[in-house]
Structure 1
């Protein structure tokens, strides 16, 4: 497991060794590896925002332009939306300072968010201490008054209502999922905020799967069917699939619903779809992260984990709150473990992907109690999470591919009238990621007899006439310069080439064209050298 502490909290490199394992705790900026925090976001891969009072992001969406939208609550009882630029700074074209809070009615929170094709932002949650609430914002953060008259709609489906999930259909209709009383509840709205009466007769559908049941998320199939996931019977993972008209789809599980006892008390907190139509849920079972994969007919997919389910003890009590499916069918879950943000990545067969974080899991201490409640994948494959840290909205971005760091090499030399050269070799990291263990060699001329004033991080190989220097770390924009004296033999004449070359660095250097430079000096006599 890769355990990461934000570089705002730890600056030194520490190695902790036990009998059977070594856990490397590094500044996040040094981890340009799959599972490492992306240092191009917020400087260390994390951003926290105090929107007002106690706040949290319960959901996020990534716009087509790469901007990140979060939705949750602020001041304990108002819906809060924030938008970030791709570098983690708040987008001041949204709400003036990058954040917007909305008092829909008494206590109101947003639990989900989606971005429409036209750039408008839709949130869903609850308001009035127990009604389903949907709000729509223009791209500048103002409420969209073409939706519900004032940009908000509340719906009393029956009893205590909450919308936890939200999806926008291709035709612009808005689907929410949650619960009403003790039943799963799904609603569909027209683009103007009115309930769509072609769905369930009045725009809402409630489903009693068994006992107390809730929908925690919703997703849409390409054929227009609606998939929800949550909990039923007070403690089993539950999935339901609806036809476009709101009736249960009886080709799924026989009656449109499937319940699965993964182990002890379990529930699904989010659902996603594989490209082949398989349904992936993530949540918790017996205090561990739980993932299940279902075939399109509702049966468990036994190619995943042997029986269709996988539970993972990331550390102490943990839970997955969000799930995302990659194009290569890998599955990423996010949540919390021992009060820290937790991310896990699974191969298509359910095994942990040990290319991610070393063992398939990463925990990150952003600050105080922190957790990730939602996850999205960028088009470049990077993982974005949103949640809370120290009572503030927290967003983090993780790498899924090895980073790259373009390390360039330059060398200069100054001749003297004493038969020597002052050599200066420089390595510079131009990014985009930090570099570690940058090794360069400088090949000195054939007539080099000795080297003096060598820096501590360099070594001299006399037979090969090479100086090798190592920089343990170079942040983006940083350089390391090595200066020393090379003494020539007394009878030296002619050209004296000096060549510096990068021979190793982590991560990969994608631009080898600037990995080497040669400077040629000339010995006019055994004592006079010019460069």
Structure 2
């Protein structure tokens, strides 16, 4: 099997021997069965990510990898690798970079801390593409001449299997969700979908002519494929494994990449020396950026602010500012830059600090109680997709409502769960939970918050506030009503005394008593705090100590009364704290009116 000239676009004075590389790869390795035992190199469990994003450029004619510091835009190291390096894949921890060597049918394992090759893994014949699983545990490489994808355990640097795919597998990309790997079949005009759980092909998707590179959107829903001989990019819906759009305009597209936020795709127009910027929402080209001679591969920086393009024919890498879609730098690299890849760079960190406060402590059963949970971002980066929970424990309580200062909350007792969205450095969000305690004891609200970013101080992500719940205080008001006649020829009247007697056990803080008058009667000379409306005298009382009494008086003129029995009833209508004994909440005074000068009141 040969790649022929279709594996690179026809160029003026083409300088590199792609067909020769395929032939040398076929001679170097006849398949997996002929490979020597690999040198095992343990994958580090964790490593501090690089403080700035680092790009790795595979130079196919120089048998080297150029290491670019994106902060300075300079080559910081040049690493010798195998023959004809064609792809670079960086582990999620940035501890290792894997380089496929198409001329020697091997993978060079680079320790990124020292920029040295620490192992060489024999793989299938003529490896071109490479990708690492999101968990870093598996490396995949295409074997162009063997029509297989080689699967490698990165912990032991050993080949575990070879997956048969289509004719001439070339590019590779792993879905961010880890479930699928996509391989372009350059001679088969298709894409093979590999199930990573079973290492089997579950679908073969027809695309354009001579598909080279492949990239997957951050949400794993779309796959973008550059079709060299169709001058188009195919867009695949991963749910249906069908092409849902074809984007033209790229002459001999080779490289393809997707921005970290998924809003842009990029494709190299190799014969036009340009980079196409594609709006993924509309699948249309929104900008064309002139770059170097023979743009081959593309990589977006981890923060999406830069795109690097490896220009194979002038031995440079173009740096594009994605905000302006302009080239801001051109970096000389090795001989024949064929592929470029970024390491993850520094992982964003956001220190979420949680506090919980109660509105009262102690609080009474039956009284409303509020817990306010504050989630403060102490930085240094924005917390994206933040969420919080507030969980009640201890004595019984009912959650009456829950709200957040941003986002939304749902209640599944005893837990409130809130999606808060982004919280910028220095900002905060609050979750307010209203509860009603229903039993005495200790009620505890535990607040917790998380975000996708690394939290440098996880100990302050969770905290709790406990509240003592007590029996509410009670004060029994014993109502008394007495009447005293005041007789005379001029203005005879009855004086009523409405008494609120506190029998405890707590102090009365306020109370309201009423007195219902006979029909047609009215009250005069009322004590302060008493009013009359529609035959009802209403008197307000202030604090009354346990064992004390408070009196209010008013007069009822006799000439307004009918002869006979006159009855006035006093009633406690409201008081605080609660009255535990309603049996003594009323009292009556009954007088007998014989004439306006003769009245008897018991």
TM-score normalised to the size of structure 1? 0.48
Greater helix proportion: 2
* Larger RCO, structures 1/2 (Cα 8 Å, 6+ apart): 1
Greater strand proportion: 2
Structure number, greater radius of gyration: 2
TM-score normalised to the size of structure 2? 0.42
